[in-house]
A and B are shown apart, each in its own frame.
Chain A
Amino acid sequence: MRLIVPLRGVIQGRGGLFVGSLIPCCLFYFLQLYLKGRRPPPSDPTELPRTSSRSNLFSRGNSIGRVRVSSRAVPVAKPPDSPYYIGLERVKTDPYDRITNTDGIIQLGLAESTLCFDLLQRWMSENLMESIMQSGDGEFDISSIAMYKPFEGLLELRVAFADFMSRIMGGKVSFDPSKMVITAGGTPAIEVLAFCLADHGNAFLIPTPYYPGFERDIKFRTGVELIPVHCRSSDNFTVTVSALEQAFNQARKRGSKVSGILFSNPSNPVGNILSRETLHDILKFAQEKNIHVIYDEIFAGSVYGEKEFVSMAEIADSGDVDKSRVHIIYALSKDLSIPGFRAGVIYSFHEDVVSAAKKLMRFSSVSVPVQRILISLLSDVRFIEEYMTAHRQRIRDKHVRFVEGLKQLGIPCAESGGGLYCWVDMSSLLTSYSEKGELELFEKLLTVAKINATPGTACFCIEPGWFRCCFTALADEDIPVIMDRIRQLAESIRS
């Protein structure tokens, strides 16, 4: 039963050591050599066919000789696919205006506040230029603002920032300016922290629903993964340690290294506030697993509910824990409603993180004239007190009006105590209880009702039908308009 095979002698091993092992290896080597030879050299213009399919799609024309961008820039350059950004873009094309464009799209997707612009305007008109030109002893010294200054922020500003933060958090906690690095807004603060705490391919645990921008802030350049820890409406979207534990173990099984946990408190998009006990538990969990905790406390001054806001800094200071794993992000864009100033801060108990972040501020420091303005703004205690009282009061009023309006339409909201938004349960308007149904509703809201609200999918919420609505950029007379539009939509869906 002889079988005719090519190179039979070799296969049947009659050649012993030499033929039996060297020849297959040689053949393999030649195959490799051949394949390599057929591959065009990298410098050749004809290298383009070798590029990944993504960039082939991307260069549309597929013309030879076209120079390539890096493969990591390709996903960045692509138009965003998250409904959060799609909604924001759509509003830009046709924004609502009470007088000139009454049929435009109303923006409920962007967390900005115009509630206290009158106060800010007053302060700016009185103090803006003076504060830029102010320098201790009267005489205006241009080099104090024009020349290079330490990138992590002037000491005066850090002192003022520390003072301000402790003030809005009710004076229960004090911040140390030497642990502080001033950044050009909350976005770079998060990116820099992610870069410093995790290596490429490591992961952060993050309770869902979470702020849609984190995807961009953390994944674009740092390559850190986000592992969702799903929270449910039955717990009012509060995270539990057992859920964290489970996510941590699963991640470990999959082989990804968890470097930390990322939280927003008050949470974005739900607006609930974590209790002291929960904060303790989370810190204990982090200690047990030896990972970092990043706290995004960007809405700390926008708390309007009954529940007390507790900063992680207070917990960390309170006792027997290893503080060095605690990192806090704060920014002025929400609480002081000056996003245009792009001023944020990293507050870290870890020395190395502070010094690495200081160095990285070369790429995102706050310009010195703006620092000057902020110093006088933040140290104007009388103004700050007046502003913060008004800010809280006005959010509370707006919140009541907005939630009440929705309630009359039979649409409930999650319980919330902070933030510039509410978390609305529109599941009664869904045609199908699924992500698809939710996106359909999102589209209907945009095109029919002309309202841009951020769907839960964009926030990675596990339950469909939730929407984040930011109400702090609305005037009182806008609220009936919105309710009217939602009612009409609801009627058309339910009928």
Chain B
Amino acid sequence: MTRTGAGAVHPIQRTTVMRVIVPLQGVVQGRGGLVLGSVIPCAFFYFLQFYLKRNRRDEPEPEPEPVIQNSASSTNNNSGSSSPTQSELNGLSRSLSRVILSPRSSGAHVSVSGRANCILKGGDSPGLRRVEEDSYDESGNPDGIIELGLAQNKLSLDVIRDWVSQTSVGLSLSGIASYEPPDGLMELKMGVTRLMSEATKNAVTFDPSQLVLTSGAASAIEILSFCLADSGNAFLVPTPCSPGFDVDVKWRNGVEIIHVPCRSSDNFTISVTALDRSFSQAKKRGVRIRGVIISNPSNPMGSLLTRENLYALLDFTREKNIHIISNEIFAGSVHGDDEEAEFVSIAEIADTEEHLDKERVHIVYDISKDLSFPGLRAGAIYSFNENILAASRKLTVFSPVSSPSQHLLISAISKPEFIQTYVKTNRQRLQRIYSEFVKGLKGLGIECTRSNGGLFCWADMRGFISSYSEKGEIELWNKFLNIGKINVTPGSCCHCIEPGWFRFCISNLSEKDVFVVINRIRKVCIRKTQD
């Protein structure tokens, strides 16, 4: 009906005069009337949408900006990847190209998954391997490499040794072999919460039922980021930050990290304005931010967050309705002794908040690190959010603390006199080694940021790098490793935006070693100034 109407009423000459050659001209010029003129474009659009949607399977919810997302995923699919579920992991979109690049013989040889390929590429630290091959020993190998990169504390091992050798009675028989709840024994949880309270000078009481034990802080962060963010979502992380976050958050969860750089001019303090800016930028790009991850005491700087900082952060997360993970694994390693050196747990701030706001606060803690016993692999998640706790408890089957380790820890934590001696000795020794080391660096004209906690010294070596860039920094790092024979962590590993900063993990050293290390640094730096 309409077709004939259109043909009859409409004189064709007018259009033939200005004829343009267009594909589907009839449709475009609307000669087909109602059906061709409007239904066909709509149908095309519908099929396009349908096609795009089908290529985005398992999308849990509509994205805020479907158009942008769609075009992104369609280009990825056009690139001929074999994986149909690109959108599952934003990490994967990176991995796709890597899979193709990765050397593998085709045909009979069976390949591993794309995400495993991704892992194969990353997470190596060449320094550590070198140290393993040729590690320093005062008498055995005086020319070996001194480890200053690994965050472990060797200062109070004698105290730990005494405890372990006295434990023989405590850790005896049953209870260690059979199935236990994977999220930890209540007895241990109670001990851990006591230890955590002690670190805050008993300003906070922690509730053991809100604690979930995991095998180390790495798995605690992994589990938390799995529960708080879907793949493709992101966390804001102020930098410089702990080098481990990349691995813990991204590898298996596919959650992204958006770094929010802090600068030396502000003494690397976290600014809420910068967080806010990154948040809006991410939003514009269509990336969904699910939370902020902070370290307190910070790693690598060793600075402590003040109450005001924490309030501001919590306000920010409330305003944006996102989570906050506070990584407090060095809470027990606070060594400054003046008023500034007060460690405030985010739990204390959260306690003053309403119930609903508490639910966004999650704490990561590492028992074994606090007790200079990282080999025990015992970390913890402390959360105010029931759902997160329920999910984490189930996920601990993948990262459990074994029963013998738990009983070993119980035997230590339940002895208050041991804990007191240990905490006191450890703090004194950290303090001493820190001031020795800083003094030594100062003698070489190297400044450090003020640190009150953690096992680190964050040193400003901008004066010694050949070019003010990441390349210059890595060059200096190589010199440290090869000439100075010390393994340190360059700022770029901590995603520091300014080149030339280095992290020294001083708790690896004895007092005698400090002298050796300073001499080796001098060797590298003086060569540099002579160059």
Interface residues of A (CB under 8 A from B): 1-3, 5, 10-17, 19-21, 24-25, 28, 32, 36, 39, 41-45, 47, 50-52, 58-59, 63, 65-67, 69-74, 76-77, 110, 112, 114, 117, 120-121, 124-125, 128-129, 132-133, 140, 142-143, 145-149, 184-185, 187-188, 191, 195-202, 216-217, 220-221, 223, 255, 257, 259, 287, 290-292, 322, 324-325, 337-343, 350, 352-353, 355-356, 359-360, 362-370, 373
Q: How far is the CA of A358 from the CA of B478 in the complex (A)?
A: 26
Q: How far is the CA of A17 from the CA of B178 in the complex (A)?
A: 78
Chain A residues lying within 8 Å of B320, measured Cβ to Cβ, are 43
Chain B residues lying within 8 Å of A14, measured Cβ to Cβ, are 6, 10, 30
Cβ-defined contact, B229 with A24, below 8 A: no
Cβ-defined contact, A19 with B30, below 8 A: yes
Chain B residues lying within 8 Å of A129, measured Cβ to Cβ, are 167-168, 171
Q: Give min CB distance, B380 to chain A, whole Å.
A: 14
User: Contact check: which of B15, B34, B360, B401 meets A16 at CB < 8 Å?
Assistant: B15
Cβ-defined contact, A360 with B404, below 8 A: no
Q: How far is the CA of A106 from the CA of B38 in the complex (A)?
A: 70
Chain A residues lying within 8 Å of B175, measured Cβ to Cβ, are 340
Identify 18 new A-B residue pairs, CB closer than 8 A, beyond the known A223-B58, A369-B404: A12-B34, A16-B28, A25-B41, A42-B64, A42-B283, A42-B288, A43-B279, A69-B385, A71-B61, A72-B231, A128-B172, A133-B164, A184-B215, A201-B84, A287-B108, A339-B177, A340-B179, A356-B117
User: Contact check: which of A71, A148, A322 meets B109 at CB < 8 Å?
Assistant: A322
Chain A residues lying within 8 Å of B482, measured Cβ to Cβ, are none
Q: Give min CB distance, A174 to chain B, whole Å.
A: 23
Given that A73-B227, A146-B373, A370-B402 are known contacts, is A199 also in contact with B395, CB under 8 Å in the complex? no
Is B377 located at the chain interface by the 8 A CB criterion? Answer: yes
Q: How far is the CA of A202 from the CA of B219 in the complex (A)?
A: 25
Interface residues as binary, B1-42 with A (CB distance below 8 Å gives 1, 0 otherwise): 110011001100001000010100001111111101110011
Q: How far is the CA of A325 from the CA of B397 in the complex (A)?
A: 26
Is B506 located at the chain interface by the 8 A CB criterion? Answer: no
User: 5 smallest A-B Cβ distances: which pairs?
Assistant: A13-B30, A340-B403, A368-B375, A20-B30, A142-B161
User: Contact check: which of B61, B67, B117, B228 meets A73 at CB < 8 Å?
Assistant: B228
Chain A residues lying within 8 Å of B107, measured Cβ to Cβ, are 290
Return the chain A residue nearest B354 by Cβ: A65
Return the chain A residue nearest B181 by Cβ: A92
Q: Give min CB distance, B144 to chain A, whole Å.
A: 15
Cβ-defined contact, A12 with B37, below 8 A: yes
User: Contact check: which of B1, B176, B231, B252 meets A195 at CB < 8 Å?
Assistant: B252
Q: Give min CB distance, A222 to chain B, whole Å.
A: 8
Q: How far is the CA of A125 from the CA of B169 in the complex (A)?
A: 10
Is B154 located at the chain interface by the 8 A CB criterion? Answer: yes
Cβ-defined contact, A355 with B120, below 8 A: yes
User: Contact check: which of B15, B160, B165, B251 meets A133 at CB < 8 Å?
Assistant: B165
Among B6, B172, B283, B391, max chain A CB count under 10 A is at: B391
Cβ-defined contact, B84 with A257, below 8 A: yes
Is B230 located at the chain interface by the 8 A CB criterion? Answer: yes
Q: How far is the CA of A147 from the CA of B10 in the complex (A)?
A: 88
Given that A12-B5, A339-B179 are known contacts, is A67 also in contact with B161, CB under 8 Å in the complex? no
Q: Give min CB distance, B432 to chain A, whole Å.
A: 20
Given that A129-B168, A142-B157, A339-B178 are known contacts, is A322 also in contact with B108, CB under 8 Å in the complex? yes
Return the chain B residue nearest A44 by Cβ: B321
Cβ-defined contact, A364 with B374, below 8 A: no
Please give the number of chain B residues whose Cβ is less than 8 angstroms from any Cβ of chain A in the complex.
125
12 inter-chain pairs at a CB distance below 8 angstroms, sorted by A residue, are A11-B33, A14-B10, A20-B29, A24-B42, A59-B387, A76-B394, A324-B110, A340-B177, A341-B176, A363-B248, A365-B377, A369-B376
Chain B residues lying within 8 Å of A325, measured Cβ to Cβ, are 110
Return the chain B residue nearest A61 by Cβ: B356
Q: How far is the CA of A15 from the CA of B215 in the complex (A)?
A: 70
User: Contact check: which of A24, A72, A74 meets B41 at CB < 8 Å?
Assistant: A24
Chain A residues lying within 8 Å of B374, measured Cβ to Cβ, are 146-148
Given that A143-B154, A145-B375, A341-B177 are known contacts, is A184 also in contact with B356, CB under 8 Å in the complex? no
Cβ-defined contact, B404 with A185, below 8 A: no
Given that A43-B279, A343-B402 are known contacts, is A367 also in contact with B376, CB under 8 Å in the complex? yes
Cβ-defined contact, A196 with B116, below 8 A: yes
Q: How far is the CA of A191 from the CA of B252 in the complex (A)?
A: 11
Which residues 194-220 in B have Cβ within 8 Å of A in the complex? 215-216, 218-219
Interface residues of B (CB under 8 A from A): 1-2, 5-6, 9-10, 15, 20, 22, 27-34, 36-38, 41-42, 45, 57-58, 60-62, 64-65, 67, 82-85, 88-89, 92, 107-110, 112-117, 119-120, 123, 150, 152, 154, 157-158, 160-161, 164-165, 167-168, 171-180, 215-216, 218-219, 222, 226-231, 233, 247-248, 251-252, 279, 283, 288, 290, 319-323, 356, 359-360, 368, 372-378, 385, 387-388, 390-391, 394-395, 397-405, 408
Cβ-defined contact, A16 with B112, below 8 A: no
Q: Give min CB distance, A322 to chain B, whole Å.
A: 5
Q: How far is the CA of A373 from the CA of B82 in the complex (A)?
A: 45
Return the chain B residue nearest A9 by Cβ: B30
Chain B residues lying within 8 Å of A255, measured Cβ to Cβ, are 84
Chain A residues lying within 8 Å of B28, measured Cβ to Cβ, are 16-17, 20-21
Cβ-defined contact, A148 with B403, below 8 A: no
Chain A residues lying within 8 Å of B172, measured Cβ to Cβ, are 124-125, 128
Q: How far is the CA of A290 from the CA of B455 in the complex (A)?
A: 50
Q: Give min CB distance, B408 to chain A, whole Å.
A: 6
Return the chain A residue nearest B373 by Cβ: A146
Chain B residues lying within 8 Å of A341, measured Cβ to Cβ, are 176-177, 402-404
Cβ-defined contact, B110 with A350, below 8 A: yes
Cβ-defined contact, A146 with B160, below 8 A: yes
Chain A residues lying within 8 Å of B359, measured Cβ to Cβ, are 66-67
Q: How far is the CA of A117 from the CA of B175 in the complex (A)?
A: 11
Q: Give min CB distance, A146 to chain B, whole Å.
A: 5
Cβ-defined contact, B112 with A197, below 8 A: yes
Q: Give min CB distance, B422 to chain A, whole Å.
A: 12
Chain B residues lying within 8 Å of A65, measured Cβ to Cβ, are 321, 356
Cβ-defined contact, B119 with A221, below 8 A: no
Cβ-defined contact, B113 with A198, below 8 A: yes
Q: Give min CB distance, B61 to chain A, whole Å.
A: 5
Chain A residues lying within 8 Å of B45, measured Cβ to Cβ, are 28
Q: How far is the CA of A47 from the CA of B62 in the complex (A)?
A: 12
Q: How far is the CA of A291 from the CA of B89 in the complex (A)?
A: 23
User: Contact check: which of B37, B178, B372 meets A10 at CB < 8 Å?
Assistant: B37
Cβ-defined contact, A20 with B177, below 8 A: no
Chain B residues lying within 8 Å of A337, measured Cβ to Cβ, are 177
Q: How far is the CA of A63 from the CA of B405 in the complex (A)?
A: 41
Among B6, B167, B402, max chain A CB count under 10 A is at: B402
Chain A residues lying within 8 Å of B167, measured Cβ to Cβ, are 129
Chain A residues lying within 8 Å of B60, measured Cβ to Cβ, are 52, 71-72
Chain B residues lying within 8 Å of A1, measured Cβ to Cβ, are 1, 5
Cβ-defined contact, B115 with A73, below 8 A: no
